[in-house]
Structure 1
Amino acid sequence: MSFNSNDIISGGKISILSPHAGGNIQDNHYLKKNIFPDNGFDSIIKSAQMGTPLIELGGGRPKVMVVAGVHGNELPPQIAALNLIEYMKNVPVWGTVYLIPFAAPGATMENTRWFKGSDLNRASSSEGSITNVILKFIQMLNLDAVADFHSTKPKSNPGRESVFCTKKPCINSYNIARYITQKTSSELICYEEAGSMYKGALEDECNLRNIPSVTCEVVSENGKVNQGSIERSFLQMKVFLKHFKILR
């Protein structure tokens, strides 16, 4: 695991979590046209060329993580994560937030769901995968919760704005999801046991380790940005943080 935390941004610091995932995200036309260069994202974009960027904001507990870009062609949450970083520079932060705006910049660069032939949201339990590296880091930090943000194309699975969770073995997954759906009108999709429907999903692997986790979905065509989808993902992220009173 590579963890270089020497780079500083306003109000936080940047580290490289996995050096094997890098890519020039600005090669993705649909992503680039939704990122405003005057927002100070240069250091994050440069870090993404070297691997999976990790941004740390705030301090103390609670400690949570926001993840986007596990599927490189799901663009709205990746852009929303950058917008969240910019937003949090200018408001009080009551706790610590670790943000991964691009889990696999190489896949984002190519605007593809897959990274080197692998669906990273089925590989979190596979030794050496990017999501497995993220999972180990989550455990090392002893985080209070994790939210993984995605987008889903219309008429697919799930094909609608929603929040996935499970009740066993970690009931707080359900509690977090219920709060987000109540505040955003996203649909609640709850399974009884983690890992019963999806193998190797980051959310499930966290819950199986008693780290409360949810997966949040907004609606957008794959590889594109549907109108309003960035704002909906951004709202889900803010409400997740408000659940822990990190944002107030």
Structure 2
Amino acid sequence: MSDKFEYNLIDSETKGDIFNNPVIKNYFNNEGFTENNALMRYVSETRKGSIVYDVGTGNKSLMIIAGVHGDELAPQIAVIKFMEEILNGEWNLRCKLYIVPFLIPKATMQNTRFLDYKDMNRQATNSGITKYIIDYALSHNVVGLCDCHSTDPNKKPGYNSVFCSIRPLVESSMIARYICKNTNSRLLPVYMAGSTIMGSVEDESNLRGIPSVTCESVSPVCKIDPSGVAESYNQLISFLNYFKVI
């Protein structure tokens, strides 16, 4: 397997320089990410907008997303950590993997939950980046999607958790149960996708035929808690382990 990522720009309206967010910039410097020239070349592409990176080959196509909410920084860092490990040859992927560490670079740059005053995790049925990413997943035959978020300890849910639905795709709950069994996360199921939250990436993906979960790790908004990064990383690794591709 080649460790080189291919990448596609799917929305230029979301462009932003994530390094104008000082929290991100400092963390990249402190963790040594900036010393990995290949990684930095890929990350710099987000100045153009929303980028989907893909790597690996296999019978299955999977997708990992972070940054639907720009101020939830821990999962975005966790995905970057995983990308760096792929570049360093630490993983043998047995799938085609689509990775989106910064779905909305503009929101990450501004350290905000919103894109132009809209919560994009309520907009996946409308025209916009969250709909575009599901469209992209469907057009590339993705069979499992993990949407990585974080939760402020003082807000709901406030603990490490995995959201899922039982209908219309029972595999959503199977994936979530597996992740919870293998991480420090609690299961948060609903019976029918879209019955409590409309327009989220997870719900709309399930409704459109892609088994999907939302993983939440505990980390204060606008900040990066290393324990939140670690739990988000463990959640995405468990997601991949469920499909037996690493």
The alignment's TM-score, normalised by the length of structure 1, stands at 0.93
Determine the structure 2 residue equivalent to 1:224.
223
Write out per-residue CA displacement over residues 209-248 of structure 1, whole angstroms, 9 at most, x where no aligned residue: 121000000011110012311111111111111111111x
Per-residue deviation at 1:10?
4.3
Identity over aligned pairs, percent: 36
Give distance in 2, aligned partners of 1:20 and 1:60: 32
Whether 2:166 is the aligned partner of 1:167: answer: yes
Tell me the alpha carbon deviations over residues 93-113 of structure 1, each in whole angstroms, 9 at most, x when there is no partner: 101110000000000000000
The residue that corresponds to 1:111 in the other structure is 111
Equivalent position to 1:30, from 12, 23, 29: 23
SS of alignment partner, residue 12 of structure 2? coil
The corresponding residue for 1:56 is 54
Shift of residue 44, structure 1, vs aligned partner: 2.3
Identify the residue that residue 124 of structure 1 maps to in structure 2: 124
Tell me by how many angstroms 1:43 deviates.
1.8
Q: How many residues were matched structurally?
A: 238
Amino acid across the alignment from 1:33? N
Give me the whole-angstrom Cα distance separating, in 2, the residues matched to 1:227 and 1:136: 33
Residue 149 of structure 1 deviates from its aligned partner by 0.3
The alpha carbon displacement at 1:50 in A equals 0.2
Cross-structure match for 1:3: none
Check whether the contact 1:165–1:215 (CA below 8 A) recurs between aligned residues. Answer: yes
Q: Which amino acid in the other structure matches residue 109 of structure 1?
A: M
2:54 and 2:177 map into 1 onto residues whose CA distance is 26
The AA in structure 1 aligned to 2:107 is A
Helix, strand or coil: the match of 2:14? coil
Once residues 242 and 137 of structure 2 are traced to their aligned partners in structure 1, the CA distance between those partners, rounded to angstroms, is: 19
CA distance in 1 between counterparts of 2:227 and 2:61 reads 29
Report the structure, 1 or 2, having the larger helix content.
2
Where does the alignment leave 5 or more consecutive residues of structure 2 unmatched? none
Match of 1:13 in 2: 6
Verify the 8 A CA contact 2:9 2:51 in the aligned structure 1. yes
1:95-138 CA-partner distances (Å, limit 9, x unpaired): 111000000000000000000111010000012x1101111111
Which deviates more, 83-92 or 202-211?
83-92
Q: Retained in 2: the 8 A contact 1:22–1:51?
A: yes
Identify the residue that residue 82 of structure 1 maps to in structure 2: 80
Is the 2:145–2:212 contact (alpha carbons within 8 Å) kept by the matching residues of 1?
yes
* Aligned residue identity for 2:70: G
Contact 1:44 1:53 survives alignment (8 Å): no
Bigger shift: 175-184 or 80-89? 80-89
TM-score for the superposition, normalised by structure 2:
0.94
Aligned 1:180-195 pairs, distance under 5 A: 180-195=179-194
The one-letter amino acid paired with 2:77 is: I
How many Å separate the matches in 2 of 1:10 and 1:17? Answer: 22
How far, CA to CA, are the matches of 2:238 and 2:83 in structure 1? 14
